[in-house]
């Protein structure tokens, strides 16, 4: 038995895992979107503000919710296209994670502790964590999308070719 046949998971495992990953990506996008929206709603209370970082993260979190919700049901229509989209989302969330990590909570959040309390740091760390987890899940989804059989090839019926009998219903033409 070949190694490739032993190591590749079955279509059912790929299908269920892909659907789980897309559901999780939509869920993580919702968590990120909710927390980042809270930060955007309270930005006037501070002297310094990581606006571009939060807007970038919020935009991709919103797109992840929409994409994950649609891809749950359409994951096998165009798997190569979905693999590319998953990889782009993975890069976007890894870059958002890097941008969030670079913003130092201790020295840049002037006025947050007095006006809002110490809970803002835990929410910021939660946003960082879910951004990384979403990026990782999109990267794993890329691999599973590459292993998915397209719906067009899955339902393709091959025609049975018959051997020519030597007789024809049409008259032969002479040259």
Instruction: Report whether pLDDT(5) > 60.
Output: no
Q: What is the CA radius of gyration of the chain?
A: 25
Say what the pLDDT of residue 166 is.
60
The predicted model gives 73-81 an average pLDDT of 84
The predicted model gives 87-94 an average pLDDT of 97
Evaluate the CA torsion angle 4, 5, 10, 13 in order and state its sign. Answer: negative
Nearest to 20 by CA among 68, 80, 83: 68
The 10s digit of each residue's pLDDT in 29-67 is: 999 999 999 888 877 656 666 778 888 999 999 999 999
The 10s digit of each residue's pLDDT in 96-122 is: 999 989 877 666 665 555 556 666 778
Nearest to 137 by CA among 67, 35, 56, 74: 67
Least confident of 30-34, 51-55, 83-87, 89-93: 51-55
Measured CA distances, 32 to 106, 151, 158 (Å):
21, 32, 47
Extents of the domains making up the chain: 8-152
- CA 72 to CA 23: how far, in whole Å? 7
The 10s digit of each residue's pLDDT in 143-170 is: 998 888 776 665 544 555 555 556 666 6
Say what the pLDDT of residue 134 is.
97
Say what the pLDDT of residue 32 is.
96
The predicted model gives 2-28 an average pLDDT of 82
Question: Under a CB-based contact definition with an 8 Å cutoff, are residues 8 and 147 in contact?
Answer: yes
The full DSSP string for 17-68 is: HHHHHHHHHHHHHHHHHHHHHHHHHTGGG-SS--HHHHHHHHHHHHHHHHHH
């Amino acid at each position: 038995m070949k190694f490739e046949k032993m190591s590749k998971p079955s279509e059912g495992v790929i299908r269920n895992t892909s659907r789980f990953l897309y559901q999780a990506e939509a869920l993580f996008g919702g968590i990120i979107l909710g927390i980042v929206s809270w930060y955007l709603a309270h930005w006037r209370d501070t002297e310094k503000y990581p606006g571009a970082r939060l807007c970038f993260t919020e935009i991709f979190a919103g797109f992840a919710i929409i994409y994950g919700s649609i891809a749950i049901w359409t994951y096998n229509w165009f798997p190569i296209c979905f693999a590319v989209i998953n990889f782009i989302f993975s890069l976007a969330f890894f870059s958002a994670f890097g941008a969030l990590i670079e913003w130092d909570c201790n020295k840049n959040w002037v006025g947050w502790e007095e006006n809002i309390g110490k809970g803002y740091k835990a929410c910021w760390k939660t946003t960082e964590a879910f951004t990384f987890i979403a990026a990782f899940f999109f990267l794993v989804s890329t691999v599973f999308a590459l292993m998915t059989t397209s719906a067009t090839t899955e339902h393709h019926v091959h025609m049975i070719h018959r051997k020519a009998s030597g007789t024809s219903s049409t008259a032969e033409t002479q040259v």
